[in-house]
Amino acid sequence: MTAPGAGHGAGDWWGTEDVSVRFGATLALDHVWFRAEPGQVSAVVGGDGAGRTTLLRCLAGALAPTSGRVRRPARLATGYMSAGSGTYPDLSVAENLAFRATAYRIPPETARQRGAELLARAGLDKVTGRLAGHLSGGMRQKLGVITAMLHRPDLLVLDEPTTGVDPVSRADLWLLIARAAADGAAVVLATSYLDEAERAQHVLVLDAGSELASGTADQIVAAMRGTLTVTGTRPAGEAGRRAWRREGRWRVWDPGPAPGAGDGGAVRPDLQDAVTVAALARELARADAERESR
């Protein structure tokens, strides 16, 4: 039970092994395998109710899985920002940091230095006396990330750190995230933005609690079967089921190897296309299976 995996030292990575989580009748996670490497950023993407938050809660230790295994460092070496920043609205920025520092047993001088440095990096050094509840949404998210990474955790778990945040604050947040990874943390973040997921070294796409795709963004794109074409109007008939709107035009996926259904040219898919295609393929397969069973 204690032997490390082939080619990996013990404790080299954190993640889940065949984890399932059931809430009553709902299967929130369905046999999910996931690994987060130190020094890398891993993104967990998926639609609403895909199981992202459940997976992150398992990783952070807030939730015990129904079955399977979670590999995570000790509590002292884990950092977690729950959805909605997890800061105390009635404490000031500095007080929020002080509470974390004490709870994670960071020496006061170290906490002061590191806090000041992170606040400056996030542009929050001018508002240390302000109540967290009086910060803008983006500032509060940045504070949430800073408090979660203050103690230099080995595993940093961030639930939607950039949701509802303006582009400038998003850039700040990514600076913080990159900093944590550069410090050696395995960073896991949930996001709804696929362009953001492309910046991560590893991506896990969840759909209805199970893995839809995983790997680097390039690997996921390369693994896409069939071809993608762009048209001005939605194609009629069967092809219409495999079409979706993006940036004002219609994209049509053809599972076959040769270009076909669309009247426009074939396009190189990006991560967003690949994920949409994967979800579409699963949906069509499910619909076909249902039709056959009837």
Which range in 110-118, 185-193, 207-215, 260-268 contacts another protein by CB under 8 A? 207-215
CA-based end-to-end distance of the chain: 46
* Residue 106 in contact with another protein, rule: CB under 8 A: no
Rule CB under 8 A: say whether 84 interacts with another protein. Answer: yes
**How many CB atoms neighbour CB 271 within 10 A?**
24
| Shortest CB 23 distance to another protein, Å | 7
Among 46, 51, 65, 115, binds another protein (CB under 8 A): 65
Query: Which one among 50, 52, 72, 127 touches another protein, defined by CB under 8 A?
Result: 72
What whole-number distance in Å separates Cα of residue 128 and Cα of residue 174?
21
Return the half-sphere exposure (C-beta side, CA atoms, 13 A cut-off) of residue 88: 11
**CB of residue 228 vs another protein: minimum separation in angstroms?**
14
Q: Per-residue b/e over 160-199, b at no fewer than 16 CB within 10 Å?
A: bbbbebeeebbebbbebbebbbeeebbbbbbbbebebbbe
Contact 70/59 with Cβ under 8 angstroms?
yes
Decide: is 5 part of the binding site for another protein (CB under 8 A): yes
- The nearest distance, CB 171 to another protein, in angstroms, is 25
- 92 part of the interface to another protein, by CB under 8 A: no
The reply on whether position 4 binds another protein by CB under 8 A is yes
Binding mask 147-186 for another protein (x = CB under 8 A): ----------------------------------------
Closer to another protein by Cβ: residue 81 or 261: 81
Sole window of 60-68, 113-121, 165-173, 241-249 interacting with another protein (rule: CB under 8 A) = 60-68
| Nearby residues of 223 by Cβ (< 8 Å), 6 or more positions away | 213, 215, 274
Does 25 participate in binding another protein (rule CB under 8 A)? no
Contact call for residue 31 and another protein (CB under 8 A) = no
Q: What does DSSP say about strands 155-159 and 186-191: parallel, antiparallel, or unpaired?
A: parallel
Which of 29, 46, 52, 57 is the binder for another protein (CB under 8 A)?
57
Exposed / middle / buried, residue 259 (Cβ in 10 Å: 0-12, 13-18, 19+): middle
d(CA 63, CA 80): 12
Which secondary structure element, helix H or strand E, spans residue 247, and what is its range? none
126 touches another protein (CB under 8 A): no
Residues belonging to the chain: 294
Which residues sit at the interface with another protein, rule CB under 8 A? 1-8, 10, 13, 15, 17-18, 21, 23, 33-35, 57-58, 60-76, 78, 80, 82-90, 103-105, 202, 205, 211-216, 219-220, 222-223, 225, 277-278, 281-282, 285
